[in-house]
Amino acid sequence: MSQLKVNSIVPSGGLPAGADGGGIIQVVSTLKTNTFSTSTANTWTDITGMSASITPSSTSSKIIVMCSIFASSQYNSFIRLVRGSTVICVGDAAGNRVQVSTGSFYTYGDGNITNTQPITFLDSPATTSATTYKIQVHINSGTFYFNRDRNNTDSTDRARGASTITLMEVSA
């Protein structure tokens, strides 16, 4: 069994002189429980309510971004992480391929299935200004459904989900 050890929470005034870095300074989280859908193809679309803002206390701080995304789609759909207007945590450019953080939520013809996809990324925003992280979706065709399945049947064997974005500032 492995364990992750984290330094104690850092006081709001920062680390004392001579102290080592690595502590969690602040945590911000957004929980989205309602649904969202889009049929806008071949463009990146913000998922309403899937953003969180944090104001780093130092330009040397790192931000751990953790997302959990519950969704389904008729065809391939992809998710990317954005800081402000800067795309982060995506694959390299390669021909016509879409640069994404995660995907796909395609449910192979079964409209009752959903998928949950995680994103975890350590960012270095190098700012002390308020910084917003958000999730965007890209589809080629069909419809993307967020926090629900495609059929949306009212039944005890169907689900509605929740999605989150959590930001943690880590001292340098």
Domains, the chain, with CATH or none: 36-170 (2.60.120.1340)
Query: Three-class SS of residue 113?
Result: coil
The model's pTM is: 0.85
Return d(Cα 49, Cα 54) in angstroms, integer: 15
Q: What is the pLDDT of residue 152?
A: 87
pLDDT per position as a tens digit, 55-101: 999 999 999 999 999 999 988 899 999 999 999 999 999 999 999 99
pLDDT reported for residue 9: 53
Predicted pLDDT of residue 77 = 93
Token output for 60: 């040397």
Specify burial of residue 156 (Cβ count, 10 A radius: 0-12, 13-18, 19+).
Answer: exposed
Instruction: Read off the pLDDT of residues 19-68 as tens digits, 9 standing for 90 and up.
Output: 566 799 999 999 999 999 999 999 999 999 999 999 999 999 999 999 99
DSSP letter, residue 60: T
Are 121 and 88 within 8 A, CB to CB? Answer: yes
